[in-house]
Structure 1
Amino acid sequence: MGNWRIKQFKAVSLKNGVLIEGLPGIGNVGKVAVDFLIDELEAIKLYEISSFTFPHSVFINEDNLVELPKIEIFYKKAKGQDFLLLSGDVQPIDEVSSYEFSEKIIDICKKHGCRDIITLGGIGLSEIPKKPKVYCTGNTSDAVKKYKDPMINTKLYGVVGPIVGVSGLLLGLSEPRIRAVALLAETYGHPMYLGINGAKEILKYLGKRFGFAINTEKLDKEVKAMEKETMKRTEELSKISKKSAGKRLLGQDVNYIG
């Protein structure tokens, strides 16, 4: 059976597709951004992924029933461009499964002819940034050049530490097959802080870059519900996996985790 269960719901044909990844991490910046895109663009579910390498737990949902942790990929064509949007409850909890999962996502990208991968995440700071900066790095200089914009900073050396988890591995494992970049927004590095402002800055850039018709102000109205659901799951899973991104001590060198 293997460690991975990948269920495909629809068959789609993509042309020069772009995968945008946002899994839980520092401030859940990437997850907040991609979940918002999925809702705003009314994307359709394409894949559902579950695994024995995910935390050994189930969630109680709004229907008072249990559900296993899962990662999902959604599809949307917008402005003539095909997008795969990757989000989920968890990340793989150890190094080997992180590599395996990242390779499987790259295989899915190759299967659908994706040419680009964009991973999203947060840079944990010891205090709340008033106006979060967004940084960009990638697997090649050409990839970074393609997504360069006055809204983002490409000078990361000495500012950002290791990019740990799927958001980093998708970049490292893609080259030279697929162009891959990471967009990392500053956020407060506390485990119970939801990086809405950082997510908004990333969404503004994506909206400009791809012409998405999204209203980021809606995020402010949805904060309460998102904080309750997203941070509740993050807290629960951190106790189980002991891999929570928030376990990094504040005030140390700035690092991005997953």
Structure 2
Amino acid sequence: MTSWQVRDEAKVKLKNPILVEGLPGIGNVGKVAVDFLIESTKAKKLATFFSYTLPHAVFVNEKNLVELPTIDAYYTRISGRDIVFLIGDVQPGDEVSCYEFCEAVLKFSKNMGCKEIITLGGIGLQAPPKTPRIYVTGTNPATIKKYMIEGVEKKIYGVVGPIIGVTGILAGLAEKEGIEAVVLLAETFGHPLYLGVKGARALILLLDKKLKLGVKIENLDKEIKELEDETLQRTRDVTQVQETSKLSKLKKIKEEVNYIG
């Protein structure tokens, strides 16, 4: 039994939908990219995902009010097709919760009639790249081929290690549900508090070209900068909560070991 609840925020029938995931991760490239696309396409909230395994903390927003960490789905219709964006403040906190969350997302996607998903993530480098490259992998060669444009690398084997978290697991579980999946990874600096704006920009331009999103390039850099401060602050807050939780668990284990031994 899954620990995740899905609450519908809108009753709509979607047309040939495709899901694009952008949760926090390396450089937050996926989150920054999807945040921007939600704003620029004026996407509307479709559903909210909730679990008691989310971090035990709230954010204080610019109105000085508390907000629980959320993971939401938004939708927008472009050229007769619906694009569903999966965005959130956090990722599931442990391995079991991650698998359960991805299964909940895939069930949600299947019920919508979604036959393809795109997950976004970063490849952490030792220094910020001047011109981030994008690598692509996925569930089958035909799906990968659709995203092969100039500047996109498909020879990813040996370049990156395991793709950790929702970006990897969502794609990995998709095939058994009959859903095609592609993973787009942008190079970025590997520091946990670094925001990979250049990597996010590269992902946005690729998605704009392939999905015909109509992104206004002249607004891209300005709007990404506006998203940057809020994203960075929330990343710091969540990181602090998760590290505190880990330390508490380690302390408890140590006390139990000392007591037994």
What's the TM-score once normalised by structure 1's chain length?
Answer: 0.90
| 1:217 to partner: Cα distance | 4.2
Alignment of 1:78-227 (within 5 A): 78-176=78-176, 177-227=178-228
Change (3 A) 1:178 1:128: same
Alignment of 1:223-242 (within 5 A): 223-242=224-243
Q: Is there any run of 5+ residues in structure 2 with no aligned partner, and where?
A: 245-261
Measure the CA separation in 1 of the matches of 2:211 and 2:2. 37
Per-residue CA deviations over 1:182-224 (Å, capped at 9, x if unaligned) read 1100011112211111111111111111111112443422355
Residue 40 of structure 1: aligned partner: 40
Measure the CA separation in 1 of the matches of 2:2 and 2:207. 36
Letter in 2 for 1:85: F
Measure the CA separation in 2 of the matches of 1:17 and 1:151. 26
SS at match of 2:152: coil
Per-residue CA deviations over 1:17-45 (Å, capped at 9, x if unaligned) read 10000000011000000010000000010
CA contact (8 A) 1:71 1:87 kept: yes
| 1:4 to partner: Cα distance | 2.4
Measure the CA separation in 1 of the matches of 2:80 and 2:161. 36
Measure the CA separation in 2 of the matches of 1:106 and 1:98. 12
Most deviating of 151-160 and 210-219: 210-219
Q: Which has the larger radius of gyration?
A: 2
| 1:227 to partner: Cα distance | 2.7
CA contact (8 A) 1:200 1:216 kept: no
Identity rate, percent: 51
Change (3 A) 1:124 1:13: same
Measure the CA separation in 2 of the matches of 1:53 and 1:120. 23
Measure the CA separation in 2 of the matches of 1:76 and 1:220. 22
CA contact (8 A) 1:58 1:67 kept: yes
| 1:241 to partner: Cα distance | 1.3
Measure the CA separation in 2 of the matches of 1:225 and 1:19. 25
Measure the CA separation in 2 of the matches of 1:69 and 1:119. 20
Task: Please say if 1:7 is aligned against 2:7.
Answer: yes
| 1:102 to partner: Cα distance | 0.2
CA contact (8 A) 1:30 1:122 kept: yes
SS at match of 1:164: coil
CA contact (8 A) 2:23 2:88 kept: yes
Measure the CA separation in 1 of the matches of 2:25 and 2:39. 20
Residue 251 of structure 1: aligned partner: none
RMSD: 1.6
Letter in 2 for 1:179: E
SS at match of 1:114: coil
Most deviating of 137-146 and 80-89: 137-146
Measure the CA separation in 2 of the matches of 1:108 and 1:64. 33
SS at match of 1:77: strand
Measure the CA separation in 2 of the matches of 1:211 and 1:41. 11
SS at match of 1:93: coil
Residue 250 of structure 1: aligned partner: none
What's the TM-score once normalised by structure 2's chain length?
Answer: 0.89
CA contact (8 A) 1:27 1:189 kept: yes
Runs of 4+ in 1 over 3 A off after TM superposition: 222-225
SS at match of 1:185: strand
Change (3 A) 1:141 1:242: farther
Instruction: Give the number of aligned pairs.
Output: 243
SS at match of 1:15: coil
| 1:2 to partner: Cα distance | 6.6
